């Protein structure tokens, strides 16, 4: 007799993509201390927090220094001031019918995208784009929802994969088998592709008809530059009865190290009489204790007039990098996509190299770190992701190096 572990964890092949990259980069740096690395791999921001956010953080810290203005436990689901700011600015201002009490504040979209599966039955079958952000699949593996792993195909027996390659214009096609839960992320990580409003409407109609839930990751919406690309799934009709939306402050406000996110669950989204809103509220109340007060105040500053203006510039800075990468690689003869509505550029590896071969090649020859497409799923093989989150100077230098040696 002895306690038993959750052996679903043991089914996970190897370690998490970015851990592996980190180890390879550390090994290279130790062996080549004279070769400065430029990192365009992990989607981590590099610009400092905007002044309006810094001011807000300092003010909130000062509030914590006095008993009269001190804040202890936050409301489970988030402070009203932040929930209202999100509902008003991200939804109502776009004509979307989302109320403040349908917004749940969290410490980031990674946590929410990993935790959201907990409110669903283990019998449910998920569908994911391929390639895809690894957290969606891995957290379902850990919960025991994905069946058996086939090392040859790198696929799970109980997951529906929707290939997104050059052949499909990097958009998923409606699956032949009906899933229960559909993960969609647009603008897409890793490919940088988007769906138009009418394309997304097809998914809503499909999900409502099939009785499926869409988990829509909108972490990159601030990077949209084209007119016809929806900033939220609730721009489409019928989304209130089939879609959960995940929002992040990491990329639109540089909060990767600050930690703030939000999940939207409309009260119309039900299984029988049970709202998913009530289940997520229960999870938050039982397994979570709120985002820090000072961080929620920083989130509020994102929606101030000053904050909006400053962040518009910050996003434009990164999108200028995206342009540098996109056009530089195109000039150099690479096949590239993304980069127009997203901070990610997706390129086809040259000369038939695998994704990891190209990773090693780029690291060794150009001292540039990117992310191998195969790390995002089998259909990512033969592709490679570069991010626009470096500094302008580093981005220009990286592209020069790739042109020279890559």
344-348 vs 383-387, strand pairing mode = antiparallel
**Smallest gap, in angstroms, from Cβ of residue 211 to a second copy?**
3
213-217 vs 344-348, strand pairing mode = unpaired
* Alpha carbon 21 to chain centroid, angstroms: 18
Q: Which of residues 41-100 bind a second copy (CB under 8 A)?
A: 42, 44-49, 51, 54, 57-58, 61-62, 64-67, 70-74, 76
* Alpha carbon 309 to chain centroid, angstroms: 23
Minimal CA–CA distance to 272: which of 121, 131, 80?
121
How many whole angstroms separate alpha carbon 350 and alpha carbon 382? 8
Tell me the sheet residues that pair with 159: 126
Does residue 271 interact with a second copy by CB under 8 A?
yes
Does residue 135 interact with a second copy by CB under 8 A?
yes
Q: Residue from 114, 163, 175, 378 that binds a second copy (CB under 8 A)?
A: 114
Q: Residue from 150, 289, 320, 365 that binds a second copy (CB under 8 A)?
A: 289
First to last CA, the chain: 57
Does residue 306 interact with a second copy by CB under 8 A?
no
**Smallest gap, in angstroms, from Cβ of residue 69 to a second copy?**
8
Task: Kindly write out the interface string for residues 137-176 of this chain, putting x where it contacts a second copy by CB under 8 A and - elsewhere.
Answer: -xx--x----------------------------------
Per the annotation, does 406 bind a ligand?
A: no
**Smallest gap, in angstroms, from Cβ of residue 91 to a second copy?**
24
Closest to a second copy by CB, 277 or 359: 277
Does residue 16 interact with a second copy by CB under 8 A?
yes
Does residue 14 interact with a second copy by CB under 8 A?
no
Per the annotation, does 16 bind a ligand?
A: yes
Q: Which of residues 25-44 bind a second copy (CB under 8 A)?
A: 42, 44
Q: Residue from 28, 206, 288, 392 that binds a second copy (CB under 8 A)?
A: 288
Structure tokens at 143: 């919960």
Contact 80, 71 (CB under 8 A): no
Q: CA–CA distance from 57 to each of 8, 52, 211, 292, 300 (Å)? A: 41, 9, 43, 11, 10
Per the annotation, does 289 bind a ligand?
A: yes
Q: Residue from 94, 282, 313, 404 that binds a second copy (CB under 8 A)?
A: 282
How many whole angstroms separate alpha carbon 155 and alpha carbon 255? 33
DSSP of 288-302: -----HHHHHHHHHH
Per the annotation, does 250 bind a ligand?
A: yes
DSSP of 241-277: GTEEEEEESTTTS--TTT--EEEE--TT-EETTEEHH
Minimal CA–CA distance to 105: which of 256, 280, 240?
280
Per the annotation, does 247 bind a ligand?
A: no
Closest to a second copy by CB, 12 or 332: 12
Show binding-site residues for substrate: 16, 43, 110, 133, 189, 289, 385
Show binding-site residues for pyridoxal 5'-phosphate: 73, 109-110, 133, 189, 220, 248-250, 259, 289
């Amino acid at each position: 007799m002895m306690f038993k572990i959750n052996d679903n964890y043991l089914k996970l092949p190897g370690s998490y993509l970015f851990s592996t990259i980190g180890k390879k980069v550390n090994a290279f740096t130790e062996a080549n201390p004279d070769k400065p690395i430029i990192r365009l791999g992990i989607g981590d921001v590099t610009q400092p927090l905007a002044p309006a956010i810094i001011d807000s953080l300092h003010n909130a810290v000062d509030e914590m220094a006095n008993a009269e203005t001190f804040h202890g436990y936050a409301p489970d689901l988030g402070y009203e001031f932040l929930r209202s700011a999100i509902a008003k600015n991200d939804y109502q201002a776009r004509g979307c019918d989302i109320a403040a009490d349908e917004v749940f504040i969290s410490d980031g979209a990674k946590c929410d995208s990993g935790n959201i599966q907990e409110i669903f039955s283990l019998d449910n079958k998920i569908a994911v784009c391929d390639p895809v952000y690894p957290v969606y699949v891995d957290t379902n593996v850990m919960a025991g929802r994905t069946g058996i792993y086939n090392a040859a195909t790198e696929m799970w027996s109980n997951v529906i994969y929707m290939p997104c390659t050059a052949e499909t214009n990097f958009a998923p096609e409606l699956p032949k088998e009906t899933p229960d839960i559909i993960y969609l992320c647009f603008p897409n990580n890793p490919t940088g592709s988007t769906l138009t409003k009418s394309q997304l409407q097809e998914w809503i109609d499909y999900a409502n008809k099939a009785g499926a839930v869409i988990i829509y990751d909108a972490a990159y919406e601030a990077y949209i530059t084209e007119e016809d690309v929806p900033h939220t799934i609730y721009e489409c009709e019928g989304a209130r009865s089939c879609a959960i939306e995940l929002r992040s402050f990491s990329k639109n406000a540089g909060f990767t190290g600050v930690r703030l996110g939000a999940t939207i669950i409309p009260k119309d989204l039900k299984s029988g009489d049970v709202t998913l809103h009530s289940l997520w509220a229960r999870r938050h109340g039982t397994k979570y204790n709120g985002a820090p007060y000072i961080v929620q105040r920083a989130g509020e500053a994102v929606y101030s007039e000053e904050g909006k203006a400053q962040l518009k510039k910050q996003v434009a800075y990164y999108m200028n990098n995206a342009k540098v990468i996109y056009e530089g690689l195109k000039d150099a003869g690479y096949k590239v996509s993304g980069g127009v509505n997203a901070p990610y550029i997706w390129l086809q590896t040259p000369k038939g190299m695998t994704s990891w071969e190209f990773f090693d090649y780029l690291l060794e020859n150009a001292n540039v770190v990117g992310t191998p497409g195969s790390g995002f799923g089998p259909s990512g093989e033969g592709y490679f992701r570069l991010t626009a989150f470096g500094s302008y100077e580093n981005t220009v230098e990286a592209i020069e190096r790739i042109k020279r040696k890559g």
